[in-house]
Each structure stands twice: as C-alpha cells, then as structure tokens.
Amino acid sequence: MFVTPAFAQDAGAGAAGAFASFVPLILIFAIMYFLLIRPQQKKLKDHKMMVEALRRGDQVVTQGGILGKVTNVGDDGQVQVEIAEGVKVKVLKSTIVQVLNKTEPAANS
C-alpha cells in the first residue's frame, strides 16, 4: 500500500551521484592547498635557503629580537653572533629570522 523511498529512487544514478557528492570535497581541498599549504611550504623553503646562505659578517635578527653580526658559522646547526663588542653568543641557525645586511664574498684576485 505504501511505497517506501528506497523503491522510489532511481537505480541508474548511483555512480554519477557518488562522484558528484565528492566534487565539493575535492574543491575544498584544492582551495586549502593553494591558500594555506603551498605558501607555507614556500616560506619554509625560503627560510632554509636563507639559513644555508649565512656567512661570516652578516647582520642578523634572531627570533628573540637580538640583533648581531655573525662571527662564526658552524656545521652543527649553530652560529656565533656578536651582539656587542666582545659579547658573543651561540644561537641555532633555525632561530635566525632575517638577514639585515648581507656581506659579499671575497673576490678572487
């Protein structure tokens, strides 16, 4: 006597309907990738290149806001920064936020 909703549905729209329901999810993921994930990866890549290019004589800013001049670059992920005349501290390379003045490499004569 009563027709249930399961019998009233179209049987042929199963595969197309399933794909159509995933389209908004795929679009949301694509938008999130281009607005959040990709810029963050680019920022990390730029920071890594900046840290690898550190050399003696560069003026830098650390995450703590300390300004100083790089006096020694170590291979163990540390740099020695002179923050005042005769005052040198060791900081991790990853805590360098910005390079203010870049020194030019010595010209080979």
What pLDDT is stored for residue 75 in this prediction? 85
What pLDDT is stored for residue 18 in this prediction? 77
- Per domain, the residue ranges of the chain are 13-49, 55-101
CA angle 4, 9, 12 (to 5 degrees): 150
Tens of pLDDT, residue by residue over 27-50, are 999 999 999 999 999 999 999 999
* pLDDT reading at 99 higher than 80: yes
Supply the DSSP symbol for 57: T
Q: What pTM did the predictor assign?
A: 0.69
- CB of 98 closer than 8 Å to CB of 60: yes
* pLDDT reading at 11 higher than 60: no
What pLDDT is stored for residue 103 in this prediction? 74
Q: At 45, is the secondary structure helix, strand, or coil?
A: helix
- Considering the domain 55-101 in this protein, what is its CATH number? 2.30.30.140
Q: Provide the mean pLDDT of the chain.
A: 85
How far apart CA 45 and CA 43 sit, in angstroms, is: 5
